[in-house]
Amino acid sequence: MMPLNHQATNQTTPEIASKTCAHLINHVYKQTNLAMVASFFCAAIVFLGLIPTFKYNFSLYAWFSFYALITFLRISVVYAFEHRNLSTHINLWRNLYIVGSLFGGMSWGLLAILLLPYATPEQQMLIILMLAGVTAGALPLSSAVPAAAIAFLVTSILPFLITIALFGTYIHYLFDMALLVYLLYSMVLVLRAYRLVRDASILQFENDSLLQHLSEAKIQLENSNKKLEETATHDALTSIPNRSLFQRKLEEAILKARKSQQRGALLYIDLDRFKLVNDVYGHDVGDKLLIEIVGELKNYFTHNEVIARLGGDEFTVILENIKNSDAIEKIAEELCDIIAKPIQIKNLIIKISASIGIAVFPGDGTNAETLLTVADKAMYYVKEHGGSCSKLANDLPAFLS
């Protein structure tokens, strides 16, 4: 697994690199106020510790005033950062943080130049102790921007290295060597910590990106499945249920009618002389005619009745909760009238009619296949006797026997 993560880090996209940079900058700014409080506390201890010796020395007050000014400016930058749009000024905020760290380190480095040589041994120990605490505390807080962390370390510790070396004693040289090792080791730690934080951030954004892609792929797959299901269950031309979905819906309607002890009806519709329309005007006109007729049927029904196309010019309608045969016949007659209305296709006015056979359930059958057969026979009876009307199957006993 590790090589994969390493490879992903080396091939980071510009978008992830930008997000990572913004995340790291946001991270250090969030930590800055805490660092400022701790650093100011250490500076105040140094100030109080040096007062007995430098009570009347301008250098102490100048140093502390400079330090307080830098702290105030850095806090102001943090405040401005929290009320600005980071995404469009990443480099600006990064550079401001580096400059702030540079001057923050200089404010501590001035101690070595202005006050350390003239302090008592106890005061020197206090200064060095506070310096070590401040620099050690800065490592984990600012390592996300290594240039800032290294700038702070160098500008705060380097003046001490020079000043201590000028003392010229053997012990001071040893102390200087130890301080130099501390500086170099701290810089190495900063770079290592930065790589860890950066790689963790990159990995997080890569995982987020992967999850997003998986989510998008899942949505695409669901949409594809819906389209496939739509294709498998709906007529391509008219977008209404096809024979497969119709049979399932009819079985459901039969079961529902049985449980509720209600009646339902199946209307089998066949357009009269539709083949003639295709032969005379072409299949394009015939297809548009079918679409128009389906649109009229949809406008007529308002209670989610199932309208299906079995193929060609054959359609079915499933009616549920029918009170009596008169209600069914009334609906069928109205459908015949709707279909018989002239329809304009391009520059043509086409008039067509329909033959409708009706099967009632559960009386005419208790399964989809039987009902479809009965309604089909009733429809053909109508068509053979001139069409353009409807008939209930149970009104044609001689034909259906």
pLDDT class of 27 with cuts at 50, 70, 90: confident
pLDDT tens-place string over residues 263-305: 999 999 999 989 999 999 999 999 999 999 999 999 999 777 8
Q: Do 271 and 353 belong together in one domain?
A: yes
pLDDT mean over 8-32: 78
Whether 35 and 180 map to the same domain: the answer is yes
Q: What is the pLDDT at residue 125?
A: 95
Please check whether residues 272 and 371 belong to one and the same domain: yes
Mean pLDDT computed over every residue of the chain: 89
What pLDDT shows up at residue 9? 44
Please check whether residues 29 and 145 belong to one and the same domain: yes
Over the stretch 133-175, which tens digit does the pLDDT of each residue have? 999 988 888 889 999 999 999 999 999 999 999 999 999 999 9
Res 216 pLDDT > 50:
yes
Mention every residue, 6+ apart, whose C-beta is less than 8 A from residue 316. 246, 250, 266, 267, 268, 269, 306, 307, 308, 310, 372, 375
What is the span of the domain harbouring residue 281? Answer: 243-400
> What percent of the chain has a predicted confidence (pLDDT) above 90?
63
In a domain, 228, yes or no: no
Residue 2 reports pLDDT greater than 50: no
- Reported confidence tier of residue 393, pLDDT bands at 50, 70, 90: low
- Say yes or no to pLDDT of 386 above 70: yes
- The residue ranking higher by pLDDT, 137 or 392, is 137
Q: Provide the angle, in degrees to the nearest 10, between the axes of the packed helices 146-167 and 121-142.
A: 160
Higher pLDDT, 89 or 146: 146
Q: Are residues 256 and 175 in the same domain?
A: no
Indicate if 206 and 305 belong to the same structural domain. Answer: no
More confident residue, 394 or 307: 307
pLDDT at residue 226 above 90? no
Q: Which residue has the higher pLDDT, 97 or 201?
A: 97
57 and 189 part of one domain: yes
Domain boundary among 197, 213, 229: 213
Residue 270 lies in a domain: yes
Decide which of 213, 228, 261 is a domain's last residue: 213
- Contact, 359 vs 374, CB < 8 A? yes
Same domain, 199 and 259: no
Q: Please indicate, yes or no, if residue 308 is contained in any of the structural domains.
A: yes
List all residues 6 or more positions away from 112 whose beta carbon is below 8 Å from its beta carbon.
159, 160, 162, 163, 164
Predicted model pTM: 0.59
pLDDT at 6 over 50: no
391 and 342 in a common domain? yes
Which among 213, 234, 254 is the end of a domain?
213
In a domain, 206, yes or no: yes
* Residue 360: inside a domain: yes
Q: Is residue 225 included in any domain, yes or no?
A: no
Query: Based on the domain organization, do 201 and 265 belong to the same domain?
Result: no
Q: Is 143 a member of any domain? A: yes
- Name the H helices within 234-352: 243-260, 274-281, 283-300, 325-340
Q: How many Å is the Cα radius of gyration of the chain?
A: 44
Count of domains observed in the chain: 2
Alpha carbon distances (Å) from 203 to 11, 146, 215, 275: 11, 19, 18, 65
Same domain for 185 and 267?
Answer: no
Q: Looking at 8-12, 181-185, 231-235, 327-331, which range is the least confident one?
A: 8-12
Secondary-structure percent of the chain, ordered helix, strand, coil, rounded to 5: 75, 10, 15
**Cα 293 to Cα 284: distance, rounded to the nearest angstrom:** 14
Nearest CA to 237 out of 291, 281, 279 is that of 291
Task: Please report, rounded to a whole number, the percentage of residues in the chain having pLDDT higher than 70.
Answer: 93
CA 132 to chain centre: 46
- Say yes or no: 132 and 268 in one domain: no
Return the pLDDT at 151: 96
